[in-house]
Amino acid sequence: MDFMEKLGKVLNRYFSVLIIAVAVIGLLQPKTFLWIVPDISVFLGVIMFGMGITLKKEDFKEVFTRPKDVFIGVAAHYCIMPCVAYILCLILKLPKELAVGVILVGCCPSGTASNVMCYIGRGDLALSICIGAVSTILAPFLMPILILLLAGKWISIPIMGLFMEIVKIVIVPILLGVIVNCIFGEKTQKAVKALPIVSTICIALLVGGVISANSKKLLTTAAIAIGAVILHNLFGFLFGYLAGKVLGMNETKRRAVSFEVGMQNSGLGVTLAMSFFSPAAAIPAAIFSVWHNISGSALAAFWSNKEIDDKKSQGAII
């Protein structure tokens, strides 16, 4: 194992600690990360390029070999998280900007960290990767519509602007990554080893930028925002798992769906909130970046020590 791989593993292991540290610095010393705010979309583009360069043909074969499983995962993701977000906003009576932010996070595709958690938690990794990839590809088409339907009562939604921005900062970088991987093949492997480091740093900087831009407002809204994010994430894990169970998936598939539903691409939420709404609307996404890695790690650790008996766990209802 070379230095880059070791460093990447260390950063992944202590990712939550790093994010919390950056958030605290951004809160206490806002000027530290304010320089990031104008270029937030660039940092997300780098993360998405990294995702694209790691994708392989095999990752998409699952769509054709197991279309039902992939459909269940993607449908559960885009039904559960947006609806839970909307209901939480109503029950908690969130302020307009926070409500838009929570719904925005709920409408985002699956987060890249979900694949790592699925692997640690002994879930169906191939299915997890495919659900994440498909949910990301569908994001430009589904996100603007869902945001319009659920957040339109609070704020005007620029549906075409959202579509174009998601294509620009998500789809284009991913396609470029895939093209680079196809052209250069094995030569990209050295770059792939550095991607966990680059992605971790970019996510940390995104969180730092949002916290810095909202340092004053966070002091008055932190408690309700954190509560909403925690509930949103935990309900996502729970309902994702239950959806797999109700639809007859075995235990490893249920775990994959649970992670893919509960963990969001909060970096995209941050970027869109800062670009189209307000810095305050990015607060839930920034908090989600911290929390879902903590909760995801805990769930993965729990499942990693729990035996799987897929013969007993089939229990198909549909």
DSSP 95-116: -HHHHHHHHHHHTS-B-THHHH
Q: Is the pLDDT of residue 251 over 70?
A: yes
Report, as an integer, the average pLDDT of 20-43: 83
Q: Is the pLDDT of residue 42 over 70?
A: yes
pLDDT class for 317, splitting at 50, 70, 90?
A: very low
Q: Is the pLDDT of residue 12 over 70?
A: no
User: 134-152: per-residue pLDDT in tens?
Assistant: 998 899 999 999 999 999 8
User: 166-197: per-residue pLDDT in tens?
Assistant: 888 888 888 888 888 777 766 666 666 777 67
- Whether 82 maps to a domain, the answer reads yes
User: 294-305: per-residue pLDDT in tens?
Assistant: 888 888 888 887
pLDDT class for 20, splitting at 50, 70, 90?
A: confident
DSSP 16-79: HHHHHHHHHHHHH-GGGTGGGGGGHHHHHHHHHHHHHHH--HHHHHHHHHSHHHHHHHHHHHHH
Number of structural domains found in the chain: 1
Containing structural domain, residue 57:
39-305
Least Cα distance to 106 among 161, 150, 62, 165 occurs for 150
Work out the mean pLDDT of the chain and round it to a whole number.
83
CATH number of residue 235's parent domain: 1.20.1530.20
Q: Is the pLDDT of residue 9 over 50?
A: yes
Q: Identify the pLDDT of residue 195.
A: 72
Cβ-count burial of 95 within 10 angstroms (0-12 exposed, 13-18 middle, 19+ buried)? middle
- Whether 173 maps to a domain, the answer reads yes
Buried b (16+ CB within 10 A) or exposed e, 50-62: bbbbbbeeeebeb
Report, as an integer, the average pLDDT of 213-228: 81
Q: Which residue has the higher pLDDT, 142 or 4?
A: 142
- Whether 108 maps to a domain, the answer reads yes
Q: Is the pLDDT of residue 121 over 70?
A: yes
Q: Which residue has the higher pLDDT, 236 or 268?
A: 236
- Whether 201 maps to a domain, the answer reads yes
Report, as an integer, the average pLDDT of 42-64: 75
pLDDT class for 22, splitting at 50, 70, 90?
A: confident
- Whether 10 maps to a domain, the answer reads no
pLDDT class for 87, splitting at 50, 70, 90?
A: very high
Q: Identify the pLDDT of residue 318.
A: 44
Q: How far apart are CA 9 and CA 116, in angstroms?
A: 11
Q: How far apart are CA 276 and CA 274, in angstroms?
A: 6
- Whether 242 maps to a domain, the answer reads yes
Q: Is the pLDDT of residue 260 over 90?
A: yes
Q: Which residue has the higher pLDDT, 254 or 177?
A: 254
Using CA atoms, how far residue 22 sits from 48, 63, 108, 187, in Å, is 21, 38, 23, 33
DSSP 188-218: GHHHHHHHHHHHHHHHHHHHHHHHHHTHHHH
- Whether 104 maps to a domain, the answer reads yes
- Whether 311 maps to a domain, the answer reads no
